[in-house]
Structure 1
Amino acid sequence: MNQKPDHYYTEKYQLTAPHSEVVAAVSQIAPGGRALDLGCGSGRNSLYLHLKGFEVTAWDRNPARLEQIIAEEQLSGIHTAVKDLNDVRFNGAYELVLSTVVMMFLQPEAIPQLIADMQASTVRGGYNLIVSAMDTEDYPCSLFPFTFKSGELSEYYRKWRIVKYNEHVGQLHRTDEHGNRISLRFATLLAQKERVKE
């Protein structure tokens, strides 16, 4: 089978590159599992995961761009659905459940249930990957309906094995009134659901 290069979809369809944390996480996770991409947007991460051998379920309020690419490329193994993450409930058995730069656009009251369902839908030994904006004293942020406080995201995963957690400063694609990209802290977490200890 002709394996497409990692940048195939990015270049052909002028997509933003897959999130760097997704690329980093995939290097640690055995390929060939099932992945759930919450808030897939135009599909940059879903398409990358598919290239890496994952069976992908991709949800978004408007997955039309990804559906167009799937149709054009005649892809199997990526399943889209229109979902509003503010009120979706779900379960499943995924090796990877991810939500990158999405939670900050949701209503605050939706977050605890969404994370609970992400955790419940992850198989033992599977992973959750979350990247989302924060509101901190040094980098206050009021741009979004929801932002994490310091330590808040890691607290949700205190019973999991935290592979990676940081609250580093990053930049939004949007700019301020001077044309500079807006800097703020992002909570970044990769955590593994513990296997059952007998």
Structure 2
Amino acid sequence: MTDLNSRHGLNPPHSEVVDACQHIAPCDALDMGCSNGRNALYLSQLGFNVTAVDNIANAIRMLHAIVAQEGIGNIDPRVYDINQAKLDADYGFIACTVTLMFLDPARVEAVLADMQAHTLPGGYNLIVCAMDTPAYPCTVRFPFTMNEGQLSALYQGWEMLKYNEDLGTMHNGAQLQFATMLARKPA
């Protein structure tokens, strides 16, 4: 597989996306908060049909340019305000890595409910979100952080393939506690 990410100066795909793809066959996928497309490019090379959304128009323009330059036919980059919680299609896989922290805190539960509603039966949601806990107070001023147990509670009834609230490192080196979940919707 060609390393399109490094060719275009992007970070590698998120490690949790790479791990999730060990369990998920190519399908229609949504990359929520795609930025410049590091995860979308990876998924497309594995054969997923990827809708890549972000509210930052410049990031979507950059991804459009990469898609055009590389002749990629299975990525559809779109400007979309995730806070709206109005997805218009259903997906077998929705990846939302280090995105929720930048949303309007009052809209996060609606966004997660919308993701769940637009996940096909037997489909998957992958979420990685920074936490703010007494043991590990969040040192980054994100608009939103998860509390202990909050993410798992919102996915009751889904099969948890992976769930942890471990320490992790952001790409800028910040050590934070993250809620990480790969869950499968009942078929």
TM-score, normalised to structure 2's length?
Answer: 0.94
User: Which residue identity is paired with 2:131?
Assistant: M
**Where does the alignment leave 5 or more consecutive residues of structure 2 unmatched?**
none
Kept in 2, the 8 Å contact 1:15–1:44? The answer is yes
Question: In 2, Cα distance between the equivalents of 1:182 and 1:15?
Answer: 19
Report how far residue 171 of structure 1 moved: 1.4
Kept in 1, the 8 Å contact 2:50–2:75? The answer is yes
Aligned to 1:98: 95
Which of 165, 180, 183 lines up with 1:188 in the alignment?
A: 180
Percentage of matched positions with identical amino acids: 46
Question: In 2, Cα distance between the equivalents of 1:11 and 1:170?
Answer: 23
- Structure showing the higher helix proportion among its residues: 2
Aligned to 1:177: none
Question: In 1, Cα distance between the equivalents of 2:7 and 2:110?
Answer: 37
Aligned residue pairs: how many? 183
In our comparison, the structure showing a higher alpha carbon Rg is: 1
User: Which residue identity is paired with 1:22?
Assistant: V
Aligned to 1:169: 167
User: Which residue identity is paired with 1:30?
Assistant: A
Deviations 1:73-125 (A, max 9, x none): 12111111111112241242211011000100111111111101100111111
Moved >3 Å (runs of 4+): none
Report how far residue 154 of structure 1 moved: 0.5
Structure 1 residues 103-182: aligned runs within 5 Å: 103-141=100-138, 143-174=141-172, 181-182=173-174
Aligned to 2:6: 11
Please give the secondary structure, in 1, of the residue aligned with 2:175: strand
Measured on the aligned residues, the alpha-carbon RMSD in Å equals 1.1
**Where does the alignment leave 5 or more consecutive residues of structure 1 unmatched?**
175-180
Kept in 2, the 8 Å contact 1:19–1:45? The answer is yes
Aligned to 2:31: 37
